[in-house]
C-alpha cells in the first residue's frame, strides 16, 4: 500500500540556469511549507524530517474524526482555530458575511446618471419628478461626469446639497434626490456605500405660510379676467377657491370637474404623492369657471409661463425688474400662496381642522398648527363672496409698477 506523502520534493530551474529542489506541503497546524535547497539529498532529508514531525505529534494534538472536509480544508481549519485562540471562528465568518461586498462594477457618473434617469422613466415617475432628478442630480453629472461613481466622497457633495442661498427645505430636497441616486448605485454595485449617508439630518423650521390680502385677491382676479381673454382665470380661481396645488393644476382637465355634484376630483394621476381627494366647489368658484368650462379652454394654456408672468406683473407681483426703477414696488410672489390663502379662509369658515384637511389633502395637525388665525372673519366673508359680477362693478386698481 502506497503511503501518501504530505510533503513533496519538486525539482525546478532558477532564472540563472542552476537547478534547485523545493520542499512543499502543509504542517498539522495548517502552516504552508515552501523551502528551496541547492541539492536534492538535502531537500529529501528536510522532507523526511517534516514527515516525522507530522506523524510524531502528541496524541493530545490530534484525533480521528469523520468529516466531509478535504485534507487541505482540514489543514486550513486547524490554522483558523490556532489563530483565533479562544475566540469562536464563527465570529469571523459572520463579520465577513456582513461586510464582504462583491467586486464593484466600474461606471462613470455620466454613464450612471443616464441609466438612472431611464430607470425613473421606466418606473413611471411623473415628468415633474424626473425633471427634479435631472435638476438636482444633473449637477453631480456636470461636476464629476468622468469620475467613477465609487470615487465620489461626501465632502464633494456639500456644494450640491448646501448651495449658497438655499433654504433648509431646499437642502433637504437636494439631499433626498442625491440619496436616491446613490442608493440605486449601491444596488447596481457601482458604489460600496452612499456618501449621502454621512451627512447629518437637515432640520427645517416650518414657518406660518404667507397669504394674500383680500385686496390682492381682488386685483389678481380682475387682471386674470381681463388679460389674454381670461386665459389664466381658471388656474387662478381653482388655486384661490379650491386650494389646488400648482403641480396638480398643471395636470387637471375639465373632465375632473363635476359641476352637477360641485366637486373637483383630484385623482391619483393628479395628486401629490398620488393621494386622492374630492374638493367641494364653492358657489363663487363655479361662477368663475362656468364660462370657460363651456368653451373647454385649457386650465394651463400654451405659453403658460409668459401668460402667468404677465398676469402677476399686472396685478403687482414679481421680482425687481432691471431697467424699471418702479419695479421695486412689486410684491414678491410666494410659491403656493394661492393655496395657503384658500386653506386659511376655508379653515376660518369651517372652524374644523378635519374638514379643511380632507378638503385640502393635508392632515388636521398641519391645518391646526400652521393655518389657525391667519385671516380675519370679515375678510373670509368677503373672500367667499367674490364673483365675476362683483369684480366688474369696480375698476382694476393697478400698482404703479405694473403700469
Is 2 part of a structural domain of the chain? no
Measuring CA to CA, which residue among 386, 213, 228, 243 is closest to residue 316? 213
Measuring CA to CA, which residue among 347, 348, 342 is closest to residue 357? 347
**How would residue 128 be classed by pLDDT, with cut points 50, 70 and 90?**
confident
**How would residue 401 be classed by pLDDT, with cut points 50, 70 and 90?**
very low
Rounded Cα–Cα distance for residues 208 and 144 (Å): 39
Rg (CA), the chain: 37
Q: How far is CA 354 from CA 236, 357, 364, 381, in A?
A: 25, 5, 5, 21
Residue range 161-193, pLDDT digits in tens: 988 777 888 889 999 999 999 999 999 999 989
Q: Give the model's pLDDT for residue 282.
A: 95
Q: Does residue 278 sit in helix, strand or coil? A: strand
Q: How many domains does the chain have?
A: 3
The CATH number given to whatever domain includes residue 352 is 1.10.443
Is 208 part of a structural domain of the chain? no
In the predicted structure, residue 310 carries a pLDDT above the cut 70: yes
Is 203 part of a structural domain of the chain? no
* Residue range 370-390: mean pLDDT, rounded: 93
Rounded Cα–Cα distance for residues 294 and 285 (Å): 15
Q: Give the model's pLDDT for residue 347.
A: 95
Q: Give the model's pLDDT for residue 326.
A: 47
Q: Give the model's pLDDT for residue 217.
A: 96
C-alpha cell at 293: 368650462
Q: Give the model's pLDDT for residue 224.
A: 95
Q: Give the model's pLDDT for residue 321.
A: 41
Is 75 part of a structural domain of the chain? yes
Give the residue numbers spanning the domain of 249: 214-402
Instruction: Say whether both 91 and 134 belong to one domain.
Output: no
* Residue range 353-369: mean pLDDT, rounded: 91
In the predicted structure, residue 61 carries a pLDDT above the cut 70: no
* Residue range 100-113: mean pLDDT, rounded: 84
Instruction: Say whether both 276 and 345 belong to one domain.
Output: yes
For the chain, what percent of residues have pLDDT higher than 70? 89
Q: Give the model's pLDDT for residue 2.
A: 46
* Residue range 215-235: mean pLDDT, rounded: 94
Instruction: Say whether both 224 and 257 belong to one domain.
Output: yes
Is 209 part of a structural domain of the chain? no
Instruction: Say whether both 232 and 357 belong to one domain.
Output: yes
Q: Give the model's pLDDT for residue 59.
A: 47
Instruction: Work out the end-to-end distance of the chain between its first and last CA atoms, rounded to an integer number of angstroms.
Output: 113
Instruction: Say whether both 185 and 334 belong to one domain.
Output: no
Handedness of CA 129, 132, 136, 137 (dihedral sign): positive
Instruction: Please give the residue that has the higher pLDDT: either 264 or 328.
Output: 264
Q: Is 79 left (phi over 0), alpha (psi -120 to 50) or beta?
A: alpha
Is 292 part of a structural domain of the chain? yes
Is 266 part of a structural domain of the chain? yes
Q: Give the model's pLDDT for residue 205.
A: 65
Instruction: Say whether both 123 and 75 belong to one domain.
Output: no
The CATH number given to whatever domain includes residue 130 is 1.10.150.130
In the predicted structure, residue 393 carries a pLDDT above the cut 80: no
Is 204 part of a structural domain of the chain? no
Rounded Cα–Cα distance for residues 70 and 78 (Å): 12
Rounded Cα–Cα distance for residues 110 and 87 (Å): 47
In the predicted structure, residue 197 carries a pLDDT above the cut 90: yes
Q: Are 40 and 9 in contact (CB under 8 A)?
A: yes
Which of 198, 229, 256 represents a domain boundary (last residue)? 198
Instruction: Say whether both 113 and 148 belong to one domain.
Output: yes
In the predicted structure, residue 107 carries a pLDDT above the cut 80: yes
* Residue range 21-36: mean pLDDT, rounded: 86
Instruction: Say whether both 20 and 151 belong to one domain.
Output: no
CA dihedral 379, 381, 384, 387 (to 10 degrees): -90
Rounded Cα–Cα distance for residues 356 and 210 (Å): 17
Instruction: Say whether both 325 and 219 belong to one domain.
Output: yes
Measuring CA to CA, which residue among 65, 72, 60, 58 is closest to residue 26? 72
Instruction: Say whether both 324 and 369 belong to one domain.
Output: yes
C-alpha cell at 124: 413611471
Measuring CA to CA, which residue among 26, 83, 22, 27 is closest to residue 56? 27
Instruction: Say whether both 378 and 240 belong to one domain.
Output: yes
In the predicted structure, residue 70 carries a pLDDT above the cut 70: yes
Q: Give the model's pLDDT for residue 163.
A: 81
Instruction: Say whether both 125 and 253 belong to one domain.
Output: no
Which of 166, 198, 230 represents a domain boundary (last residue)? 198
Which of 168, 198, 228 represents a domain boundary (last residue)? 198
In the predicted structure, residue 322 carries a pLDDT above the cut 60: no
Q: Give the model's pLDDT for residue 348.
A: 95
Residue range 272-292, pLDDT digits in tens: 665 689 999 999 999 999 999
* Residue range 152-161: mean pLDDT, rounded: 91
Amino acid at each position: 500500500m502506497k503511503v501518501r506523502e504530505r510533503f513533496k520534493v519538486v525539482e525546478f530551474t532558477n532564472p540563472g540556469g542552476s537547478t534547485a529542489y523545493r520542499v512543499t506541503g502543509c504542517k498539522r497546524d495548517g502552516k504552508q511549507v515552501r523551502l528551496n535547497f541547492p541539492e536534492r539529498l538535502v531537500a529529501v532529508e528536510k522532507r523526511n524530517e517534516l514527515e516525522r514531525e507530522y506523524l510524531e505529534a502528541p496524541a493530545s494534538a490530534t484525533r480521528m474524526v469523520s468529516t466531509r472536509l478535504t485534507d487541505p480544508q482540514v489543514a486550513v481549519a486547524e490554522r483558523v482555530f490556532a489563530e483565533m485562540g479562544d475566540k469562536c471562528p464563527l465570529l469571523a465568518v459572520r463579520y465577513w458575511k456582513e461586510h464582504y461586498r462583491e467586486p464593484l462594477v466600474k461606471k462613470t457618473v455620466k454613464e450612471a446618471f443616464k441609466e438612472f434617469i431611464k430607470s425613473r422613466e421606466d418606473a413611471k415617475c411623473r415628468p415633474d419628478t424626473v425633471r427634479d432628478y435631472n435638476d438636482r442630480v444633473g449637477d453631480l453629472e456636470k461636476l464629476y461626469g468622468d469620475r467613477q461613481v465609487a470615487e465620489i466622497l461626501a465632502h464633494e457633495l456639500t456644494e450640491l446639497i448646501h448651495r449658497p442661498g438655499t433654504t433648509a427645505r431646499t437642502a433637504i430636497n437636494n439631499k433626498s434626490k442625491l440619496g436616491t441616486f446613490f442608493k440605486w448605485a449601491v444596488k447596481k454595485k457601482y458604489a460600496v456605500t452612499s456618501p449621502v449617508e454621512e451627512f447629518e439630518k437637515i432640520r427645517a423650521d416650518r414657518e406660518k405660510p404667507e397669504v394674500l390680502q383680500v385686496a390682492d385677491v381682488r386685483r389678481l382676479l380682475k387682471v386674470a379676467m381681463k388679460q389674454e381673454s381670461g386665459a389664466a382665470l381658471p388656474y387662478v380661481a381653482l388655486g384661490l377657491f379650491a386650494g389646488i396645488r400648482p403641480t396638480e393644476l398643471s395636470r387637471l382637465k375639465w373632465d375632473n370637474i363635476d359641476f352637477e355634484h360641485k366637486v373637483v376630483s383630484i385623482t391619483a394621476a393628479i395628486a401629490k404623492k398620488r393621494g386622492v381627494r374630492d374638493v367641494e366647489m364653492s358657489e363663487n368658484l363655479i361662477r368663475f369657471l362656468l364660462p370657460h368650462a363651456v368653451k373647454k379652454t385649457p386650465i394651463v394654456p400654451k405659453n403658460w409661463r409668459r401668460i402667468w408672468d404677465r398676469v402677476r406683473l399686472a396685478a403687482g407681483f414679481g421680482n425687481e425688474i432691471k431697467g424699471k426703477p418702479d419695479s421695486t414696488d412689486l410684491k414678491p410672489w410666494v410659491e403656493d400662496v394661492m393655496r395657503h390663502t384658500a386653506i386659511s379662509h376655508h379653515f376660518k369658515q369651517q372652524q374644523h381642522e378635519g374638514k379643511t384637511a380632507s378638503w385640502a389633502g393635508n392632515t388636521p395637525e398641519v391645518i391646526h398648527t400652521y393655518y389657525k388665525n391667519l385671516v380675519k372673519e370679515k375678510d373670509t366673508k368677503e373672500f367667499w363672496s367674490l364673483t365675476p359680477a362683483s369684480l366688474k362693478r369696480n375698476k382694476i386698481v393697478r400698482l404703479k409698477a405694473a403700469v
